[in-house]
A = this chain, B = another copy of it.
Amino acid sequence: MTIANSTSTDDLGSAAQRDRRKRILDATYDLATAGGFDAVQMRAVAEQADVALGTLYRYFPSKIHLLVSALGRQFEETATRLNEREIPGDTQADRVLYVLKRMARGMQGDPKLTEALTRAFMFADSSVANEIHVVGMSMTSIVTHAMHGGVPVEGSITDRDVAVARVLGDVWLSALVAWVTGRSTAAETAAHMDTAIHLILRD
């Protein structure tokens, strides 16, 4: 009733599906931004996306799939945006710190959204493996890109780089969870990341 952005009356076939999927993810995003994990209620998402509840479940088999997909979409955008820029900083540590702090600041600017997406990520089981993988790859890509200062040379990324990126990703995630769940402040989170990065990337 309220929504509907049909460009005109002639809705085409698969375009309608693409619309639905997008509408659903947008609604998820909006609800999460406004009220966090608890506010992303499947009935509310369905209503705001203007689809039936059963349809929502046809597109996303659970609330967790839905939220992790939304997180994946956001991470992919961030990775794409960051990976086409040069990263400032003289050392690997500086550059990685720059990027991760930037991401953290971005997420802290939308605390409710971050809470919703992080919660979902942490709660996901193996049935969400595909969606999780998208997020993990984006994260690794962001960190390795930062380590190399923005050089897009593919061959220069070693196994060790990936290992470092994974470990830093783990620490980052734990720190994020601690912040999201109110167990540490933004400053503590930043300090912790700083410590971890210098412990691991001391060259």
A-B contact pairs, 19 of them (CB 8 A): A119-B123, A122-B122, A122-B177, A125-B181, A126-B182, A128-B181, A164-B199, A166-B195, A167-B171, A167-B195, A167-B199, A167-B200, A169-B174, A170-B170, A170-B171, A170-B173, A170-B174, A170-B175, A174-B174
CA distance A180 to B50 in the complex (A): 36
Smallest Cβ-Cβ distance to A136: which chain B residue: B183
CA distance A196 to B175 in the complex (A): 16
Are A163 and B123 neighbours in the complex by a CB distance under 8 Å? no
Are B200 and A129 neighbours in the complex by a CB distance under 8 Å? no
Report which of B123, B129, B163, B175 forms a contact with A199, defined as CB distance below 8 A. Answer: B163
- Nearest CB in chain B: distance from A35 CB, A: 14
Knowing A170-B174, A174-B173, A195-B167, say if A181 contacts B124 (CB, 8 Å).
yes
- Nearest CB in chain B: distance from A134 CB, A: 12
A192 within 8 A of B: yes
CA distance A126 to B164 in the complex (A): 30
Smallest Cβ-Cβ distance to A192: which chain B residue: B166
CA distance A182 to B128 in the complex (A): 10
- Nearest CB in chain B: distance from A67 CB, A: 13
